Chains A and B, each alone.
Chain A
Amino acid sequence: MTAVEPPVGAPTLQLPEKPKPSLFMAGLWAVVIVFTVLCARRVGFSFAGIIEDLQRPNPVLDGLYNTRWGEMFSERSRRAFIETLQLAVMGTAAGVLVALPFALSTTRVGNPYPIPRVILRSISNVIRAIPDLLWAGLFVLGVGIGALPGLLALFFFSLAVMVKLTADTLDGIDMGPVEAAEAAGASHAQMLRTAVVPQILPAFSSYALYDFELNLRASAVLGLVGAGGIGNRLDFFRNRGQWDKLWGLVFMFFLVVMIVEWVSVRIRRKLV
């Protein structure tokens, strides 16, 4: 591409001063790059290492080629699967039930008292900072192994997910009906039920389905710390090196999750 030549005798043009790139963005990029390098070193990241590892003979991959599809139908695995499903359903139900009042109590429209509101919001933040498997570990330590700690863990995990999403939606509602309810002489509870809840119900239902999907995935691994579900079986197979059976279980799990998601997506479209 040839540059455009100025006509002979024309004065050279002065471009306006180029605006300086935002200091903030420049600083941010610097921080990001430094951070990334530090992290990479901390983790021992190396391409060569990865390739090398992949080329070595590999029980996991062997197990993949010989996947025991029959594992899906073994008695114990089936029961573990059902337990996984049940925990997901119950955990979601319990979490969703408590999440609505909890979320309301962390917002201005639901809770006119600032101090309790801040306290509840902080509790909600702490709950959100604890991963699902950690909750499970805690409950296993506290109440022993089995399905109960799994249920409790999923309950708190659901709270974490639902309260934040619902509170954010609540912050964006139309206050008009709220004023109308107050002007009609409604009590606080009545106002919430008639002017607020109907506004967020579609979004809330959508979040509940999303929560169920997450819980299904989570309940599959809770067994790794002894909290029920197929996680137990996964750990069992892993310890014995039975990768073929493990893959069988994993694929079955895949299938269930994909089906649930397919159904859930369709339902959520109709809800909103």
Chain B
Amino acid sequence: MIRFEQATVTYPGGVTAMREVDLEIGDGEFVVIVGLSGAGKSTLIRAINGLVPLTSGKLDVNGYDVPSLSRKGRRALRAEVGMIFQGFNLVDRTTVLNNVLMGRLHTTPTWRTLIAKYRDDDIQIAARALDRVGILDRAYVRASNLSGGQRQRVGIARALAQEPNIILADEPVASLDPPTSHVVMKYLQQICRELGITTIVNLHFLDLATQYADRIIGLRDGRLVFDGPGSDADEQTFRDIYGRSLTADDTMHKQAAL
């Protein structure tokens, strides 16, 4: 469970990216966060696993009191929270399997990491994660040789290999074309439903949001301005969230049609 209480984040430069947010997300939910660039989506997601520290307010994730965590505590929290990135963040020069094994680091002793000799069980977990996103056959392929969609699937596998109970996805499909974006979103949805993993996704394409979200959260200028089921969100809702009328860039399929 994730609970923000009056959470605020102000960056060293003076920019307040998140203002007094109160938010509760239950286990197993599939939540999509929408908002303009700079509205605070990235900040909110990164606050959950402690990559971005809160300036004030409370944050409780899986029973961890995030602001008061030590370095070790943060590592323990992050072990339970998987993350997927817009730029995939893979190590291009090494194999797919090695990338996914990064998800097992939190239980792998340092000496094994240094000589790259992972436990058999861990390799099996990684293999299963790869199989779940359908690219087990690519296990020894160099990551740079994959397509964008495949690389994001590796990213998902890496997060899955952690055996997390929360998955955070920061604009996971922004660099992908429409058909591939649907494939990735479907995987995320499937994983959430079958494995009961709480999934939080930042999206800036509104049609994708309405199609896949159980619950939509709208941020504007760092404030929570909408929180409701995906079915409740229509064009007016989004106009309120964005504070302006919608353009073709806001929907994936209209943008693709341009």
Contact = CB atoms under 8 A, between A and B. Distances in A.
Nearest to A181: B102
A195 B193 CA distance: 31
B113 A189 contact: yes
Task: Please indicate which of the listed interface residues B49, B82, B91 has the most CB atoms of chain A within 10 Å of its own CB.
Answer: B91
B119 interface: no
Say which size band chain A's interface belongs to: 20 to 34
Contacts of A198: 91, 93-94, 98
Given A176-B89, A187-B75, A201-B93, A194 B51 contact: no
Decide if the interface of chain A is mainly helix, strand, loop or mixed: helix
Given A184-B82, A185-B75, A185-B76, A202 B102 contact: no
Interface in A136-175: 174
A6 to B, nearest CB: 53
B147 interface: no
Contact of B110 (A174, A177, A183, A190): A190
A90 B114 CA distance: 23
B87 A194 contact: no
A180 interface: yes
B16 interface: no
B110 A184 contact: no
Contacts of B253: none
Contacts of A174: 92
A202 B93 contact: yes
A186 B106 CA distance: 5
22 contacts: A174-B92, A176-B85, A176-B89, A177-B89, A180-B89, A182-B78, A184-B79, A184-B82, A184-B106, A184-B158, A185-B75, A186-B75, A187-B110, A190-B105, A190-B110, A193-B113, A195-B91, A198-B94, A198-B98, A199-B92, A199-B93, A202-B93
Contact of B105 (A184, A199, A201): A184
Interface string A183-216: 1111101100111001101100000000000000
B51 A186 contact: no
Interface string B44-86: 0000010100000000000000000000000111111111010
Contacts of B79: 184-185
